[in-house]
């Protein structure tokens, strides 16, 4: 990452991530940003200490005597039995989220100058996570966000009322903010977008596609 | 607690593990219950968390934080995986770049304890409305939208209360250096 990252998740978003209460799609986008942003990694570690302090304050629940015995017995077993299902660390976080390398994504065309690739979430999970690719110079209609929505720029850039967003930047706009992004005139942009609610994305697409299909 | 974890990591010390169990299992069980687990599941998850502590102890590095923080992150991720059945994208602060040091330096141990006291002190002085959202987020595991629904507040208000709480807590939880 050659550019300096200038747009970060809101503190409240990072706290929710550290608390483990951010929903899966939003969590994935924050994790992909953290992979690129040391400053936010430090914030998250600090925020995890808040969780640890609150956890420490909890009044413990008594454990059945047999449980500790069983647990201490289990650690006595040969280590080879204890298969550690560790996540493969040789892949980047982004690759694990996408399930393949970004370069290998099969894009589906959504309309003129816009492609997408939906990413599978856990079955019981609400929300939406997908890659979006926008052609150079595309203007998206002014829109607001009903609920939490995060956009991570993976390549190219876009600009809106709040500045220019380059690769690694994350846009974390509140639900009361309206903006009108324009993709970079040479490169366009590729983004990972998460929204808390399933229906949200359709609105975004219709907003983008509407003016182009003349509806 | 860090020294117990070091003993587990370095000499697979079963006695140290038993002490960690006694210290942490009841609190992990309480945490899981607050997160919505029934007592039986909560106890299983407490046991599973500690078994993971045993297996992953070698990855623990005291340079990345206190033992309590490390164990909290393991419990947190297990909860996302089992209770919410979602993928926990959060990584453990396991210090891949830094080698686990042989011993925790005495002054470091002191500052870690001092820091913990400071965090508790600041938490105790948070205004009630900020303390409430922080607790709902960390201990009850509610998303900002769920907190907004629960308290009948706009989403933006929940987020700004979280931010205000962090501004007060920040200095006490930042990296020591």
Task: Enumerate the domain spans of chain A.
Answer: 1-215
Asked if residue B52 has pLDDT above 90, the reply is yes
Position with higher pLDDT, B98 vs B117: B117
Q: For residue A184, what pLDDT is reported?
A: 85
Where is A155: in which H helix or E strand? strand A149-160
Contact list in B for residue A23 (CB cut-off 8 A) is 86, 143
Are B29 and B43 in contact, with CB atoms under 8 Å apart?
yes
Asked if residue B100 has pLDDT above 50, the reply is no
Q: For residue B97, what pLDDT is reported?
A: 40
- The tens digit of pLDDT for each residue in B58-93 reads 888 665 568 899 999 999 999 999 998 899 998 865
Tokens for A50? 């808040």
Rounded to 5°, the CA angle A62-A68-A74 comes to 150
Contact list in A for residue B14 (CB cut-off 8 A) is 72, 75-76
Indicate the pTM of the whole model: 0.89
Q: For residue B47, what pLDDT is reported?
A: 95
Contact list in B for residue A196 (CB cut-off 8 A) is 143, 145
Q: For residue A202, what pLDDT is reported?
A: 53
Confidence of residue B95 (pLDDT cuts 50, 70, 90): very low
- The tens digit of pLDDT for each residue in B140-162 reads 999 999 999 999 999 999 999 99
Query: Which of A150, A153, A111, A144 has the alpha carbon at shortest distance from A3?
Result: A153
Q: For residue B65, what pLDDT is reported?
A: 67
Q: Which of A14-23, B11-20, B25-34, B128-137 has the lowest mean pLDDT?
A: B11-20
What span, in angstroms and rounded, lies between the C-alpha atoms of B78 and A47? 18
Q: Which residue has the tokens 């302090």?
A: A53
Contact list in B for residue A53 (CB cut-off 8 A) is 116, 119-120, 123, 173
Q: For residue A95, what pLDDT is reported?
A: 94
B133: closest CA of chain A, how far (Å) = 11
Decide: residue B13, CB within 10 A, 0-12 exposed, 13-18 middle, 19+ buried. middle
Architecture of domain A1-215: Sandwich (2.60)
Taking only residues 139 to 178 of chain A, the set having a beta carbon closer than 8 angstroms to any beta carbon of chain B reads 147-148, 174-176
Across the range B105-129, mean pLDDT stands at 81
Q: For residue A84, what pLDDT is reported?
A: 54
Strand positions, DSSP E, A15-95:
none
Cα atoms in the 13 Å half-sphere on the side-chain side of B51:
24
What span, in angstroms and rounded, lies between the C-alpha atoms of A215 and A207? 10
What span, in angstroms and rounded, lies between the C-alpha atoms of A51 and B48? 20
What is the number of residues in chain A? 215
CA-derived radius of gyration, chain A: 21
Q: For residue B6, what pLDDT is reported?
A: 87
Where is B84: in which H helix or E strand? none
Residues of chain A where predicted confidence (pLDDT) is lower than 70: 1-3, 78-90, 141-146, 175, 198-215
Q: Which of A24, A61, A67 sits opposite B30 (nearest CB)?
A: A61
Q: Does B162 sit within 8 Å of A63, measured CB to CB?
A: no
- Check if A18 contacts B (Cβ < 8 Å): yes
Cα atoms in the 13 Å half-sphere on the side-chain side of A25:
26
| Per-residue three-class SS string for A89-140 | CCCCHHHHHHCCCHHHCCCEEEECCEEEEECCCCCCCCCEEEEEEECCCCEC
Domains along the sequence of chain B with CATH: 1-95 (1.10.1740.10), 105-177 (1.10.10.10)
How distant is the alpha carbon of residue A26 from its chain centre? 4
A160: closest CA of chain B, how far (Å) = 21
**Cα dist. B157→A98, A131, A175, B128 in Å?**
33, 30, 11, 14
């Amino acid at each position: 990452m050659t550019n300096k990252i200038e747009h970060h998740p809101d503190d409240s978003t990072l706290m929710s991530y550290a608390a483990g209460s951010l929903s899966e799609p939003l969590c994935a986008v924050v994790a992909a940003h953290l992979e690129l942003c040391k400053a936010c990694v430090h914030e998250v570690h600090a925020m995890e200490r808040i969780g640890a302090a609150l956890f420490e304050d909890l009044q413990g629940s008594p454990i059945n005597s047999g449980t500790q015995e069983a647990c201490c017995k289990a650690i006595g077993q040969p280590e080879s039995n204890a298969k550690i299902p560790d996540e493969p660390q040789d892949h980047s976080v982004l690759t694990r989220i996408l399930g393949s390398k970004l370069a290998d994504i099969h894009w589906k065309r959504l309309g003129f100058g816009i492609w997408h690739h939906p990413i599978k979430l856990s079955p019981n999970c609400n929300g939406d996570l997908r890659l979006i690719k926008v052609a150079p110079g595309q203007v998206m209609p002014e829109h607001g966000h009903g609920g939490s929505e995060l956009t991570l720029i993976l390549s190219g850039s876009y600009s809106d009322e709040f500045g220019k967003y380059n690769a690694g930047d994350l846009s974390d706009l509140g639900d009361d903010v309206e903006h009108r992004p324009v993709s970079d005139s040479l490169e366009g942009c590729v983004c990972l977008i998460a929204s808390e609610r399933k229906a949200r994305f359709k609105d975004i697409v219709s907003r983008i596609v509407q003016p182009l299909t003349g509806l | 607690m860090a020294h117990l974890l070091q003993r587990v990591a370095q000499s697979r010390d079963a006695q140290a593990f038993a002490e960690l169990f006694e210290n942490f299992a009841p609190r992990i069980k309480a945490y899981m219950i607050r997160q919505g687990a029934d007592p039986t599941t909560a106890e299983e998850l407490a046991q599973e968390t500690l078994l993971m502590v045993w297996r992953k102890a070698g990855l623990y590095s005291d340079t990345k934080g206190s033992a309590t923080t490390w164990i909290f992150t393991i419990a947190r991720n297990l909860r996302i995986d089992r209770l919410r059945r979602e993928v926990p994208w959060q990584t453990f602060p396991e210090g891949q770049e830094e080698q686990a040091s042989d011993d925790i330096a005495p002054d470091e141990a002191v500052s870690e304890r001092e820091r913990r006291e400071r965090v508790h002190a600041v938490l105790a002085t948070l205004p009630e409305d900020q303390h409430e959202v922080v607790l709902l987020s960390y201990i009850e595991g509610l998303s900002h939208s769920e907190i907004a629904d629960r308290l009948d507040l706009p989403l933006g208000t929940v987020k700004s209360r979280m931010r205000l709480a962090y501004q007060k807590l920040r200095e006490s939880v930042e990296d020591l250096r």
